[in-house]
């Protein structure tokens, strides 16, 4: 696109003067033709009064032109006046500020207290540079989610969310990570999945596994459900970050164990988008191999596939509430998680058994390092 600016633009009055000269008219003649005071014509010709749409129509009738001709002359002249009045530094400042707003969700970051509000471009640039350089892993982060949103690059909201999660994770204590600690911890986690109140013990169990756990409210346009990340360059400081975008017990447990599966398999830096919820991807063909594996492992950690399949064969299509609760009690699992698994498999409608999908966010916030939902960095006590 060309940004060339003409060296000089004349006001419409100059063109009116040419038209009058060609016809041998005076300003008084034009005023009489248009039914306007001579003073009004004089102001237009000297550029002290703008050409309005009404005036443009009258000039077009007087000179046999189009109204657009006069409006375009007026617009070009006014734009030229504003452009020449602006200093180069001022225009550069606007461009610089626009680039900064494209590079990061500035207003959300200010609202959440991640950076301080400032009117200074240099101050804003300094704060963003400090924020994004605090955890030097930007080039390693990648998306591993639905095919429709997979990309080699994170958008500004997703990148900011991941880095905020890593910043918080640095303050979360955890034991040394090992495969043995992971396997033992998964069994402990599974034992907490029968009652909603038990989720407050999840951060401590993850810490004993060597996994740092943080909650960061998602940013608009991010669609983030969770992420498996690492502090440093090795595999010894894993981080599980959740957004709790959907405050339901089934979504929490599936997303948590999905990210744990990524940690177990050392799936690089993984950000999961649209992992749960009505808009999740239901087609296995549309999932990457990594995501399909994590989904299966997360489901198996909660309910061994053979047990769930046996229940489905025995019950389909009559998934009464009483039967779901009976099965949940048998395997010591909250019935909302069973309902969520059935929804995920397409066995029941997304709107079915909603009363089972209890909320857990407030319970978790009281026990985990948290940023969002009106909480400014809450740490477990």
Segment 184-223, tens digit of pLDDT: 999 999 999 999 999 999 999 999 999 999 999 999 888 8
Average pLDDT (21-50) is 92
- pLDDT given for residue 146 in this prediction: 32
Nearest residue to 111 via CA among 65, 162, 157: 157
Q: Are 274 and 145 in contact (CB under 8 A)?
A: yes
For residue 313, being part of any structural domain is answered with no
Instruction: Give one word for 244, left, alpha or beta, with left for phi > 0 and alpha for psi -120 to 50.
Output: left
For residue 350, being part of any structural domain is answered with no
Is the same domain home to 175 and 197? yes
Is the same domain home to 74 and 172? no
Is the same domain home to 215 and 245? yes
- DSSP annotation of 236 reads S
Angle between helices 121-133 and 88-103 (to 10 degrees): 30
Among 23, 52, 85, the domain-final residue is 85
Among 85, 106, 121, the domain-final residue is 85
Among 102, 131, 160, the domain-final residue is 131
For residue 314, being part of any structural domain is answered with no
Is the same domain home to 41 and 143? no
**Edge-first strand listing for the sheet containing 141-143:** 141-143, 269-273, 224-230, 238-242, 212-216, 369-372, 375-378
Element of type H or E holding 240: strand 238-242
Q: Are 194 and 333 in contact (CB under 8 A)?
A: yes
For residue 262, being part of any structural domain is answered with yes
State the chain's mean pLDDT as an integer: 86
Instruction: Count how many Cα atoms sit within 13 Å of the Cα of residue 311 in the half-sphere of its side chain.
Output: 22
Is the same domain home to 231 and 99? no
Average pLDDT (95-124) is 93
- DSSP annotation of 44 reads H
Instruction: Give one word for 159, left, alpha or beta, with left for phi > 0 and alpha for psi -120 to 50.
Output: alpha
**CATH code assigned at 17:** 1.10.260.40
Is the same domain home to 110 and 43? no
For residue 7, being part of any structural domain is answered with no
Average pLDDT (314-342) is 93
**Distance from C-alpha of 222 to C-alpha of 304, rounded to nearest angstrom:** 32
**Distance from C-alpha of 108 to C-alpha of 217, rounded to nearest angstrom:** 11
Q: Report the chain's terminal Cα–Cα distance, integer Å.
A: 57
Q: Report the percent of the chain where pLDDT is more than 90.
A: 63
Is the same domain home to 239 and 272? yes
Residue 39's alpha-carbon distances to 42, 49, 154, in angstroms, are: 5, 10, 61
Whether 254 shows a pLDDT value over 80: the answer reads yes
Instruction: Count how many Cα atoms sit within 13 Å of the Cα of residue 286 in the half-sphere of its side chain.
Output: 12
For residue 1, being part of any structural domain is answered with no
Element of type H or E holding 290: helix 289-302
Phi, psi of 63 (to 5 degrees): -110, 0
- pLDDT given for residue 176 in this prediction: 95
The SS3 assignment for 78 reads: helix
Whether residue 75 is preceded by a cis peptide bond, meaning omega within 30 degrees of 0, is no
* Range of weakest confidence among 75-89, 190-204, 298-312, 328-342: 75-89
Is the same domain home to 153 and 223? yes
For residue 213, being part of any structural domain is answered with yes
Is the same domain home to 226 and 116? no
For residue 343, being part of any structural domain is answered with no
Is the same domain home to 275 and 195? yes
Structural domain including 126 reads: 92-131
- pLDDT given for residue 16 in this prediction: 93
Is the same domain home to 148 and 170? yes
For 53-107, the pLDDT digits (tens) are 999 999 999 999 999 999 999 998 888 877 766 665 566 788 889 999 998 999 9
Is the same domain home to 62 and 167? no
Residue in the structure block whose two tokens are 């038209």: 19
Number of structural domains in the chain = 3
Q: What is the largest CA-CA distance in the chain?
A: 102
């Amino acid at each position: 696109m060309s940004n060339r600016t003409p060296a000089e633009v004349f006001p419409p009055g100059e063109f009116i003067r040419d038209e009058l000269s060609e016809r041998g008219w005076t300003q008084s003649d034009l005023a009489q033709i248009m039914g306007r005071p001579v003073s009004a014509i004089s102001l237009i010709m000297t550029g002290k009064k703008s050409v309005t749409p009404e005036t443009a129509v009258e000039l077009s009738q007087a000179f046999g032109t189009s109204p657009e001709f006069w409006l375009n002359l007026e617009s070009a002249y006014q734009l030229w006046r504003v452009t020449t009045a602006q200093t180069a530094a001022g225009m550069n400042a606007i461009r610089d500020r626009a680039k900064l707003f494209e590079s990061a969700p500035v207003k959300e970051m200010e609202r959440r207290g991640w950076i301080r509000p400032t009117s200074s471009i240099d101050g804003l640039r300094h704060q963003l540079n400090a924020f994004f350089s605090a955890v030097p892993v930007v080039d390693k982060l990648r998306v591993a989610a639905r095919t429709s949103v997979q990309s080699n690059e994170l958008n500004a909201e997703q990148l900011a969310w991941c880095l905020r999660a890593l910043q918080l994770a640095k303050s979360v204590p955890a034991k040394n990570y090992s495969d043995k600690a992971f396997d033992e911890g998964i069994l402990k986690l599974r034992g907490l999945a029968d009652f909603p109140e038990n989720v407050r013990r999840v951060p401590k169990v993850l810490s004993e596994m060597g996994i740092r756990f943080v909650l960061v409210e998602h940013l608009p346009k991010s669609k983030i459900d969770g992420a498996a990340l690492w502090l440093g360059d090795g595999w010894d400081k894993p981080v599980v970050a959740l957004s709790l975008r959907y405050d339901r017990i089934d979504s929490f447990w599936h997303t948590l164990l999905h990210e744990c599966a990524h940690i177990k398999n050392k799936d690089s830096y993984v950000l999961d988008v649209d992992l749960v919820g009505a808009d999740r991807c239901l087609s296995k063909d549309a999932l990457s191999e990594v995501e399909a594996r994590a989904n299966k492992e997360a489901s198996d950690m909660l309910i061994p596939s053979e047990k769930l399949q046996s229940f489905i064969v025995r019950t389909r299509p009559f998934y009464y509430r009483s039967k779901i609760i009976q099965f949940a009690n048998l395997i010591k699992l909250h019935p909302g998680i069973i309902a969520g698994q059935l929804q995920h498999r397409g066995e029941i409608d997304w709107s079915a058994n909603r009363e089972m999908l209890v909320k857990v966010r407030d319970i978790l916030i009281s026990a985990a390092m948290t940023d969002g939902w009106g909480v400014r960095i809450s740490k477990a006590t």
